[in-house]
């Protein structure tokens, strides 16, 4: 190795006592070097602009909860239609990232009622292409053939966000606010093999922020039902601590089924992290009345705004009591992991390229 060649090719210049090597700068400011510096400066400027524009990437986004729709499907499909229309029409304005239905799609699991629910909900895919959504069977939906015909994996063929299914449960992936998320839809009364499957999905996607969407989990008066306890901490083949308690990437649970009152509570998992559990079910409020749950993830303000809205009920479009409208405080980076800043990634890339160019010039 001839280091003298380096010195010969890159004579020092007076830079106020610093050598060009110390500054990792090329040997002069003339000709190609000036172009090099211009390129680096322009790249840095682009990085800073990217950093500013990344504020838009962290804009609030919304996950829509569609609680038990059994009475709407059976008696008032116009209510369900108003919900689907609102979701489609407000996808952009609400920055809707996912639509999660909590089961009890039908009151009686007949082909007719499944056909009504399926025809309405699949309008999400036909009218809002690419918007991910998921359902699961509640206790009213147990005609397995009818459920699979209406909402089984073949109905989601070709949707890139559809992850897969086991028994009557399924999972989806979506990206929002700079993060990738996992939604696992766990059927009513899940067997241990169903929960083992859900664990295998989490194991295959380590660290991805995960929401469990299910039917019977919380009681209206607080606390979990026996089925909720099974989902929370029932011992699994791949995880003795259970699906929610034993996986710190699970930060939220959505559920329905119990209709006397909504409920929300925060449980603590094995790692000491909060899990935000939310029950909503309006089946006995004018048969559902078109009420949706809006979970607005506002990363800038470290909060999830929860509201309850009906596009059908013009008299009382919002339920504003404290059980239906509240904020969940969450430091997104602390709970879900840090998303690398685009500016920093970009500056590292520019620095790397500059070093490579410098080294190539030195060696060459």
Binding residues vs Zn ion (CB under 5 A): 104, 138-139, 257
CB 215 to Zn ion: min, Å: 6
- Residue closer to Zn ion by CB (options 76, 86) is 76
The number of C-alpha atoms within 13 Å of 109 and in the hemisphere containing its C-beta is: 17
What span, in angstroms and rounded, lies between the C-alpha atoms of 253 and 184?
A: 10
| Contact predicate 43/53, CB 8 Å | no
Q: Which of 89, 103, 164, 165 is nearest to 131 (CA)?
A: 89
CB 86 to Zn ion: min, Å: 23
Residues near 13 by beta carbon (within 8 Å), at least 6 away in sequence: 20, 27, 28
Residues near 45 by beta carbon (within 8 Å), at least 6 away in sequence: none
- Residue closer to Zn ion by CB (options 110, 329) is 110
Q: How many residues make up the chain in this entry? A: 364
CB 291 to Zn ion: min, Å: 16
CB 115 to Zn ion: min, Å: 20
- Residue closer to Zn ion by CB (options 121, 202) is 121
CB 141 to Zn ion: min, Å: 9
- Residue closer to Zn ion by CB (options 36, 142) is 142
Q: Which of 1, 40, 65 is nearest to 253 (CA)?
A: 65
- Residue closer to Zn ion by CB (options 141, 298) is 141
- Residue closer to Zn ion by CB (options 138, 246) is 138
Comparing every residue's Cβ against Zn ion, the nearest one is 257
Helix then strand then coil, in percent of the chain rounded to 5, is 40, 25, 40
CB 82 to Zn ion: min, Å: 22
CB 216 to Zn ion: min, Å: 6
What span, in angstroms and rounded, lies between the C-alpha atoms of 66 and 293?
A: 6
- Residue closer to Zn ion by CB (options 146, 249) is 146
What span, in angstroms and rounded, lies between the C-alpha atoms of 104 and 141?
A: 6
């Amino acid at each position: 190795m001839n280091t003298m060649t380096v010195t010969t090719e890159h004579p020092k210049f007076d830079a106020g006592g610093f050598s060009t090597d110390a500054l990792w700068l090329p040997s002069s400011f003339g000709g190609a070097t000036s172009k090099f510096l211009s390129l680096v400066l322009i790249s840095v400027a682009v990085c800073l602009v990217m950093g500013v524009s990344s504020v838009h990437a962290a804009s609030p986004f919304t996950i829509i909860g569609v609680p038990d729709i059994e009475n709407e499907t059976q008696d008032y499909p116009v209510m369900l239609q108003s919900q689907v229309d609102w979701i489609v029409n407000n996808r952009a304005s609400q920055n809707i990232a996912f639509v999660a239905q909590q089961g009890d799609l039908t009151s009686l699991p007949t082909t007719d009622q499944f056909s009504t629910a399926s025809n309405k909900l699949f309008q999400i895919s036909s009218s809002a292409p690419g918007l991910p959504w998921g359902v699961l069977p509640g206790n009213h939906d147990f005609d397995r053939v009818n459920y699979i015909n209406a909402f089984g994996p073949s109905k989601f063929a070709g949707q890139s966000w559809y992850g897969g299914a086991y028994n009557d449960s399924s999972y989806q992936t979506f990206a929002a606010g700079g993060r990738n998320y996992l939604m696992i839809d766990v059927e009513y009364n899940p067997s241990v093999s169903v929960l083992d499957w859900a664990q295998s999905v989490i194991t295959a996607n380590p660290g991805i922020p995960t929401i469990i969407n299910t039917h019977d989990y919380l009681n209206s008066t607080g606390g979990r039902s026996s089925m909720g306890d099974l989902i929370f901490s029932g011992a699994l083949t791949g995880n003795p601590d259970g699906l929610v308690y034993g996986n710190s990437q699970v930060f939220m649970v959505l559920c329905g089924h119990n209709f006397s009152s909504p409920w929300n509570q925060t449980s603590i998992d094995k790692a000491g992290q909060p899990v935000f559990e939310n029950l909503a079910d309006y089946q006995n409020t004018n048969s559902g009345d078109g009420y949706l749950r809006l979970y607005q993830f506002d990363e800038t303000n470290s909060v999830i705004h929860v509201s309850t809205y009906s596009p059908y009920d013009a008299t009382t479009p919002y339920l504003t009591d404290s059980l239906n409208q509240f904020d969940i405080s969450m430091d997104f980076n602390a709970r879900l992991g840090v998303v690398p800043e685009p500016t920093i990634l970009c500056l590292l890339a520019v620095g790397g390229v500059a070093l490579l160019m410098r080294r190539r010039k030195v060696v060459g």
